[in-house]
């Protein structure tokens, strides 16, 4: 019989055993480790990774960016972001075509100066995905 140093309770059928990390912890005769309820709380608070694939996103042909599908946001409530419909309503209400310069916080005069400096004119055709590459019809 051993006493858990975390929950301070006697653990019947458990013996002190060396773990694979070289530390000692309580293990029973069935080979199960003592799952202390007081020590598991810190591990449960850690955020788990959500693995998303390309089918979880919609492509915006007005700016070439990807946005969550409605089903993805419903399936993973911890995610936050815009859906394609919300994005288009906010940024492309009249079906405008935008690029990265349009999303910069600049005045219209500074945007035009930057376009000339970078030799990047305002796009006039929609974007499309060519496999995994983003393309613009006029390029």
Q: Is a pLDDT exceeding 70 seen at residue 58?
A: yes
SS (H, E, C) 17-77: EECCCCCEEEEECCCCECCCCCCCHHHHCCCCCCCCCHHHEEECCCCCCEEECHHHHHHCC
In a domain, 13, yes or no: yes
Domain count within the chain = 2
Q: Is a pLDDT exceeding 70 seen at residue 46?
A: no
Same domain? For 20 and 75 the reply is no
Largest CA distance in the chain: 78
Same domain? For 26 and 75 the reply is no
* Number of residues assigned to the chain: 139
CB 73 within 8 A of CB 83: yes
Same domain? For 100 and 67 the reply is yes
Question: pLDDT grade, residue 18 (50/70/90)?
Answer: confident
Taking all residues of the chain, what is their mean pLDDT, rounded to a whole number?
Answer: 84
Burial of 69 (0-12, 13-18, 19+ CB in 10 A): middle
Question: pLDDT grade, residue 39 (50/70/90)?
Answer: low
- 0.85 surpassed by pTM: no
Task: Report the C-alpha gap between 52 and 25 in whole angstroms.
Answer: 37
Domain range holding 38? 2-44
In a domain, 90, yes or no: yes
Which helix (H) or strand (E) is 117 found in, with range? Answer: helix 108-118
Question: In sequence order, what are the residues at sequence separation of 6 or more whose Cβ sits closer than 8 angstroms to the Cβ of residue 14?
Answer: 1, 2, 26, 27, 28, 34
Q: Find the mean pLDDT for residues 46-51.
A: 72
């Amino acid at each position: 019989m051993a006493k858990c140093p975390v929950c301070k309770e006697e653990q019947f059928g458990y013996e002190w055993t060396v773990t694979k990390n070289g530390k000692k912890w309580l293990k029973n005769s069935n080979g199960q480790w003592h799952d202390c309820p007081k020590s598991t709380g810190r591990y449960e608070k850690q955020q788990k990774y959500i693995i998303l694939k390309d089918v979880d996103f919609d492509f915006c042909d007005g700016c070439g960016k990807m946005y969550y599908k409605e089903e993805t946001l419903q399936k993973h409530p911890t995610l936050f972001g815009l859906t394609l419909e919300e994005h288009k309503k906010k940024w492309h209400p009249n079906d405008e075509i935008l690029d990265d310069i349009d999303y910069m916080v600049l005045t219209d005069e500074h945007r035009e100066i930057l376009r000339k400096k970078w030799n990047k004119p305002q796009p006039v055709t929609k974007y499309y995905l060519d496999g995994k590459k983003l393309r613009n019809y006029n390029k």
